[in-house]
Amino acid sequence: MTQNEKIAHEHIQKIADLLTNRSLNFSAINKKDYNFEVTVERSSEKLKVQVYFGKKGVKTILQGNLESELYKEVNKIIADEPKFQFSEKEITEPKEYIGTDESGKGDFFGPLTTAAFYVNETSKKILSALGVRDSKDLNDNQIENIAVNIKKKFPDAYEVITITPSKYNELYKRFKNLNKILNWSHSKAVENLLNRKKCNYVITDKFSKEDLQISLSDKMNNIEFIQLHKAEKYIGVAAASILARDQFNKWFERQKKLGFNLQKGASELVEQIAKEIISKYGNDKLAELSKLHFKTTTKLN
């Protein structure tokens, strides 16, 4: 298998994970001569997600009716992914660094949570023994158990920023852009942690072409900021992804105790729950529970 073929397979697997998170029905990944593909279906609608691999790189194509709701929903899922992906230069994992990741950016309900975690040679071994890996490869129970142990063993080595839906909606009105909110939250988590842990590297799972805001500060001149696709392969980033997801999950658990059985993602079920909330409690309550800039909001009236 060529390097680009490996990248293409990882990419379509990531897309499949996102489709699963949004409760969409799709076929098993099918390998063709020049691409991997999955077929997504809803009622009578059907479309194909194809990831091609070749000498020039990796290309993602969505085939189907551009005007259908299913096409728009799936296109939104993969819209933030580059149309062409080229092999990134591998880096040697630094002996010590801060890794960051976030959870909740693709979910209509719930907060946006961002975590930063400081790791060194000693903590890498402990994290590995705890079973730390990309949170998308773990179920909620595993995430909770590992997060508890991470916090217990490294109480001063992490920082978690939680942007509640209400705060998120305020920030979106100001920034008008999700990536700017992500930049702010990652930068804040890193800055807070650097006040306790000094190191020369920060590794972030890449979410935009912009540098982190904090990297522009003069006092950060000695720090190298590295943004990579699939950065969760570095154990410090993986630990951050678990802490962010655990905080995200806990918000849903608290809401459930308050009588709101909310769903993750942005599916038709999420839309139905949102309509029920408006009917029972009004638009103000919905604004406390959801990210209003999602297209889901436009379907509720």
DSSP symbols for 21-80:
HTT-EEPPPEE-SSEEEEEEEETTEEEEEEEEEETTEEEEEEES-TTSHHHHHHHHHHHT
Within a 13 Å sphere around the CA of 57, how many CA atoms are in the beta-carbon half?
A: 9
Ordered per-residue pLDDT tens for the chain, 301 residues: 677 888 888 888 888 888 887 888 889 898 887 888 899 998 888 888 888 887 667 788 888 787 788 888 888 877 644 443 434 456 688 999 999 999 999 999 999 999 999 999 999 999 999 999 988 888 999 999 999 999 999 999 999 999 999 999 999 999 888 999 999 999 999 999 999 999 999 999 888 767 788 876 777 778 888 888 888 999 999 999 999 999 999 999 999 999 999 999 988 899 999 999 999 999 999 999 999 999 899 888 7
Pairing label, strands 97-103, 112-119 = antiparallel
All structural domains of the chain, each given as residue ranges with its CATH number in brackets, are 3-85 (3.30.310), 97-252 (3.30.420.10)
The CA distance from 168 to 239, in Å, is: 24
Distances from the Cα of 138 to the Cα of 17, 24, 132, 141, 240, angstroms:
12, 19, 9, 8, 14
The residue with tokens 């038709």 is 268
pTM (two decimals): 0.71
Enter the tokens of residue 207.
């979410």
Alpha-carbon distance 182 to 101, whole Å?
10
- d(CA 80, CA 64) in angstroms, rounded, equals 19
pLDDT at res. 79: 67
Sign of CA pseudo-dihedral 74, 76, 78, 82: positive
What phi and psi, each to the nearest 5 degrees, are found at residue 267?
-90, 180
Cα dist from 3 to 50, 56, 57, 228, whole Å:
17, 11, 9, 17
pLDDT attached to residue 87: 42
Q: Spell out the residues 6+ positions from residue 170 whose beta carbon is closer than 8 angstroms to its own.
A: none
For residues 53 and 25, the answer to whether their CB atoms sit within 8 Å is no
8 Å CB contact between 49 and 62: yes
